[in-house]
Copies of this chain bind each other. A is one copy, B any other.
Amino acid sequence: MAIDRDTVLTAAVEVLSRNPTAHLDEIARAAGISRASLHRVFPGREALVREVGLLALRRYHDALDAADLERGEADAVLRRLVELLVPDAALCAFLAGENHLFDDPELLLLWEEQGARVRAFFLRGQQQGAFRIELPAGWLAEAFFDLLAGVGWAVQDGRLAPRDSAFALIELFLGGALRRPS
């Protein structure tokens, strides 16, 4: 019956990714605990949001590590990355929706580090002739994240089947990003 910190975080992601202004009552209810207990685990809204943000950025970071961005064809790397990221798409939706999350310098730093890694990956893919050079690498990186967050929202609201989501993201994005072989 001990309150599980991870359970609370998961519930918070569930609620906050849909509605970043949700009240603490709602998050507590989603986690199956009382507002008082929620406050015992996280000493306030700010702390909770920050904790969720850290979780999201860590997962994002770990996915970038696991995808091994430097190894193999850019095409294949991106497919690996999508498979790794799609299960955590809700976390990315949270990151996309929580606006003043990056007022925190530590979170901002983490965010920009991961962003730089993704941009560097797309730039490398362009230099190797895999990705189209007419589109700025920064835009490719940003659009990729936008679509990833979009997948998170669509899955949560039942507009996209979880099993289809990796395919939907990869096929749409890669089709637009890859150079035509012709």
Contacts and interface: CB of A to CB of B under 8 A. Distances in A.
A171 interface: yes
A17 to B, nearest CB: 10
B177 A164 contact: no
A51 B125 CA distance: 44
A159 B20 CA distance: 24
A57 interface: no
A132 interface: yes
Interface residues of A, number: 35
Interface stretch (A3-11, A42-50, A142-150): A142-150
Contacts of A177: 172, 175-176
Contacts of A140: 172
Contacts of A160: 136, 138-139, 142
18 contacts: A21-B100, A97-B99, A134-B171, A136-B164, A138-B159, A138-B160, A139-B164, A140-B172, A143-B147, A143-B168, A143-B172, A146-B146, A172-B176, A172-B177, A173-B176, A175-B175, A176-B176, A182-B182
